[in-house]
Amino acid sequence: MRETHTLTTPLWRWTGGNGVAWFFVTVDGAVGEALSATAIMHRLEAGKRAGWGSVKVTVRIGDSEWRTSAFPSKENGWMVPVKASVRKAEGLADGEVVLLTLAF
């Protein structure tokens, strides 16, 4: 059974050592705890952890919906990547607060 959660969170940029930028939103609080519980359940069911401890999710921002993975963050909650095509379609900029629907 899939859970669906809605939250507001800022879009942020991470630049790697090669200068390439990636954009993410952070999922924390109650939704982050639900993702953590789902990751634990999947690990118990599969007997192993998914790649980088990730959880497969369906994400919606505005009219854009896509499938990706949420990744646990050492600092805070979970990180969900936001594709360039979504940022362009929704007119999103670094630091902008977005309304995010997450299903997992």
| Structure token digits, residue 69 | 């993975």
* CA torsion through residues 54, 59, 74, 39, sign: negative
The answer, yes or no, to whether residue 1 has pLDDT greater than 70, is: no
Work out the pLDDT band at 90, boundaries 50, 70, 90.
very high
Domain boundaries, the chain: 4-103
Look at residue 52 and give its three-state secondary structure: helix
pLDDT digits (tens, 9 = 90+) for 10-48: 999 999 889 899 999 999 999 999 999 999 887 777 777
Q: What is the pTM of this model?
A: 0.88
Residue 5: half-sphere exposure toward Cβ, Cα within 13 Å: 16
Q: Return the CATH fold of 4-103.
A: Elongation Factor Tu (Ef-tu); domain 3 (2.40.30)
CB 34 within 8 A of CB 3: yes
pLDDT digits (tens, 9 = 90+) for 39-86: 988 777 777 776 678 999 999 999 999 999 999 998 889 999 999 999
**Distance, CA of 78 to CA of 85 (rounded, Å):** 21
CB 53 within 8 A of CB 96: no
Q: Which pLDDT value is given to residue 50? A: 65
